[in-house]
Chain A
C-alpha cells in the first residue's frame, strides 16, 4: 500500500514537472500560412518603444498588447549580436544572458526588435520593428524607494526597499511591521552613498525621530527642539556629509468632492539644519520666518547654497492661492553662517507653485516640479517636471511629462539619468520612471522600472514613493535599523544651537496620517 502511494506520488510529481517544463517551453512556432505585414510596430505594455536605456539595466520584459496567441521575434543590436526568440501567449521575457550581451555590444547604439504574431486562426502578422537606444552612461546600480498603499489617512504595511537595477532583485531596507506598523519616510542618502542614510520615523512608541546610519553606526536622533516642535521631514544631506537640512512642518489633509480627492496644506513650515558631529539643530530667521512657509531644502553640489521653496502663510480656506517661490540662501558649512536670501523663481512670474528642487550633480541644472498651487505635488494631477538652467536662469517644461502627476525626482550620480514618480499609467498609483538626460540638457522618453513579471504593474496595488539612486546596496541590516528605532541605547536628543532663539511651543507635531494602531478601537 505504502509502495503504491509512493509510486503514485512520484508519477504525479513527474507529470507536474513535465507540465511545468513543457508548458514554459518556447519551442519555435513555425511561421506558416498567410503572413500579413503591418506598417506599425506592435503595441506593448509597459511601453519601452523608442526609449533610451542604460547599458546596465535589467531585461525589459513586456507584454504584447495585440490579439495574438504566439509570437516570434528577431532581436538584434550592434556588432551583429542577434537572436530569434519565440513564445506562447503575449508575455515577452528576454533571457538575461542574451540581454547582457545585447547591452554590452550596443552601448551608445541601438537595439531593434521585430515581432511577428500568430492569430487564433493560424495566420501570422508581421509588425514593423521598433528601436530601443542604449546610452553609454550607466545608471547607479540601486534604486531605493518606499512601498506603501495609496494612503488617504491611515496606513497599514509600508517598507523602504532597494532594487538592484541590473537585475530584478529587490530587498527590504526596513519594514514597518518590525516596529509596530509605524511610519518610516523621507529616506535620503549622502551623495548616493548606501552606507550613509537618514530616514524619518514617526512612532507611537518612540515618537518622531530621525534614524541616521553612518557606516556601521546608527543613531535615533530626536530633532525636535525648543525651536522646532515638529520633527524633521524632507531631509537632505549637505555634500560635506556633516549636516542634514530638514523641514519642520505642520501638515493637514483635506478632501475634494470631485476630481482628485486628496489635498494637503502646510499650516506651518520652517527649515533647520541638523549638524551631525555637534548634535545641534541650527537655523536662521531667513529660512524659518513664521510668516512664511519654507520647505523642500536642497543643497547645491558644492554645499554653498541651500535651495528651498517658500510661500506666504495663509489660512487654509485660501489654499488655492498658496504658491511657492524657488529661493536660495548662501551657507558656509565651515563657519555655520548664512548669507542673503535670493528669489530664483517667483510664483508671481510663473503663476504656478514650485516644489522639489533638485540640483544636478554638475550644479548646472535644477530640476523641479510645478503645479497649480500648494506643495504636495504628487496629489496634483497638473504637476509637471521643469528644468532650470542655473547659468542662464531660464526654465523649460520637460517633454517627459504626462497629463497626470509627475513629481518626486532624483538625479543619478553621473547626472545622466533622472528617476521620477509618475501616475501616468492610471492616475492613482505612482511608479518610478527613468529618463536619460543628455549632455545638451535634453530629457529623453522615460521608461518604467522593468519588472520580472511583464504584467506586474497591471495588478500591483502599492505605490512607489521617493525613488532615490544609490551607488550600491544598503548594507545596514533591517534588524539593526529596527533595533535603532526601538531600543533605548540608540536614542540621542539633538540640542538647539545656543544662537537660535527658542520659540513658544506653539507648533504642534501632529500629522494627518496615522497608523492602523492609532485608530480608536484598534489594538495598541
Chain B
C-alpha cells in the first residue's frame, strides 16, 4: 500500500503564491466576500506563512507554503464525532463533506490551522463566473474543508493503473500545486517506495517537519534553505 507524502524545497520556493491559486482553481475553493476576506476568512487550502526575520538591514523573509500535512497520527480525526474526517489506508487524511456536521472540533484540534469552515454557501460573490473543475464537488454551507492532496486525481490515476494492470508510477499522481509550481519546489509521491523522489528527499539532511514534537507525524517535509534564513 503506498503512502502519499510531499516534500517542499524552500531553497527553490520563491513564495510566488502560484500553488495557492492553482489549488483554489483545482478544488473549486470559494471566494468569500471582500469584507469577510479582510476579516481573515479567505479560504485557502495551500496557505502561505510569511515571517520577516532579522534586524534591519540583515532582514530575511521566509515564505512557507502550507497545505494540510496529512499527519500519520492526525489529531483532527480523533475528535470528529461522525467519522467525517479520517486517515485512510494510504495515509491521506480525508474530509468527507456529506458526513461533516460542521461542529469544527477538527479545526480546533488541528495544530496547523489547515482547515477552513464554510460560513456561507459556496457563493462566489454575486455574478462571479463559476466555471470550475468537475472532478471536485463543491462544499455546502456548514462543512469543514481542507487540502485533500488532490485525492480526486488519485481516483483517476488508480483507475488508469488498474486497467493497464500495473502499479502507479512515481510522478503519475501529483497534486495541482506541484503541477504549476514555477520553481519546481514541490515533490510528491509514495514515501514507502524508497526509490521515489519524495522518499529520497525526505531523508535529506535539510529535512524538517512542523510539529514534530507533537508526535503527529506530518507527511509534508520541508527542505530548509541552505543560505539566508
A in complex with B: no
Residues in A lying within 8 Å of B, measured CB to CB: none
